[in-house]
A and B are shown apart, each in its own frame.
Chain A
Amino acid sequence: MIALKEFDRALGQVVKADSAIKKCILVDRTGLTIAHVSRYSASSVDVDGIGAIASAVFCASEEQGRNLDIGDLLMVSSEFDEGKIFAASCGRGVLCVITDPEVNIGLVRLVMKKATDDLKALLQEFLAEKPIEATAEESTSERAELEAALKELEKF
């Protein structure tokens, strides 16, 4: 069982690599935001929404590559007036990095390469299919949460 905070540590290293890197989000390929780290804690963006778009855009580009038979997608970069977004494959997930416009692109690519290698292994374990039945004893609290949610759904 991996420590969930391992993701925060790995993403934290990316954000610390350069002052132009503002935010780092790890998503899976279903749109789930697994973890995120920001340079500024006061940042109030809708991270779940950004993660969902990042995952969908990356996966759509992958689909485009498959349709055109041009191989695996390594990285997507989007340039805006006031910032850049980079998204790179890391096994079963996508690492998304948001930067200032004047960021050193070579450095970002290098940092992301290192991070994606680290995250790939973590994600492989984290996203492995784990039936609830098989982990029932250690997942008592999860089961209780699910049952509580069921009760709440009856109320609204």
Chain B
Amino acid sequence: MAKIRKDSEGRLHFKLVYWGPSLGGKTTSLRYVYDDVEGLDKGGFTSIEDPSGRTLFFDFVPMSASGKILFDVYTVAGQTRHKHQRKVIMRGADGVLFVADSSRSMKQDNIESLQELKDIVGDVLGDQIPLVIALNKRDVDDAMSREEILKDLSLENSSIPVYETIAVKGIGVKRAFQTLSREVLLKQLYGIKTAH
């Protein structure tokens, strides 16, 4: 059953996590939502990164759509060696945006990253915990087709929402975030997913 997370001011918090392989565009996507999407009240952008700017632990931004409803949005560090950190960040997640890298060279990384997510979250992923897929980097020369990526991820027959994104240009990013946050609220309110 869904649970409510509140702070001492009675505000309801929902935790959204951007997950995906290393350098796939998780931080870029969140940064776009933070910098360029209007209509949300946003807190500070907290980032724990290495000297080269790669996420070392997580990024975090609290966002408010309305009054007492807050989305605590996290990204995870995508590099393989940070798997323990990812597990920590996934605790209490209410929804996940999986940011896949469309580059053909990242085919196996996408598969392994989604499998790791499934291993941590279990069968509730995409059901009790809403999942949205962002196929990022649609503009790269060696981009795989949408169908090929979804087949690789065993999602070709799934009703999970899928968006094609180009995070560096902000294309599709807002819609993916919007859909995930909406799914999470609908799940909390009615225990349902919207039809896609």
Contact = CB atoms under 8 A, between A and B. Distances in A.
Interface in B138-189: 174, 178, 181-182, 185-186, 188-189
B12 interface: yes
Interface stretch (A23-31, A70-78, A81-89, A109-117): A23-31
B60 A31 contact: yes
Main secondary structure of the interface of A (DSSP, over half): helix
A49 B178 contact: no
Contacts, number: 134
A147 B67 CA distance: 11
B52 interface: no
Interface of B: 1-10, 12-13, 15, 37-40, 43-44, 46, 48, 57-58, 60, 62, 65-69, 72, 74, 84-85, 87-89, 91-93, 174, 178, 181-182, 185-186, 188-189, 191
B72 to A, nearest CB: 6
Interface of A: 4-5, 7-8, 28-35, 46, 48-49, 52-53, 56, 59-60, 63-64, 67, 126-127, 129-133, 142-143, 145-156
Main secondary structure of the interface of B (DSSP, over half): mixed
A152 B66 contact: yes
B39 A155 contact: yes
Contacts of A52: 46, 58, 60, 72, 74
A49 B44 contact: yes
A67 B87 CA distance: 13
A148 B189 contact: no
B87 A32 contact: no
B8 A35 contact: yes
Contacts of A4: 6-10
Closest 5 interchain pairs by CB? A156-B39, A30-B92, A49-B46, A35-B8, A46-B44
B144 to A, nearest CB: 30
Nearest to B48: A53
B129 to A, nearest CB: 13
Given A31-B60, A129-B3, A149-B65, A46 B46 contact: yes
Given A32-B15, A46-B44, A145-B69, A152 B3 contact: no
Nearest to B38: A156
A108 B82 CA distance: 33
Given A63-B84, A143-B189, A34 B7 contact: yes
A148 B1 contact: no
Contacts of A56: 48, 57-58, 85, 88-89
Contacts of B191: 133
B65 A60 contact: no
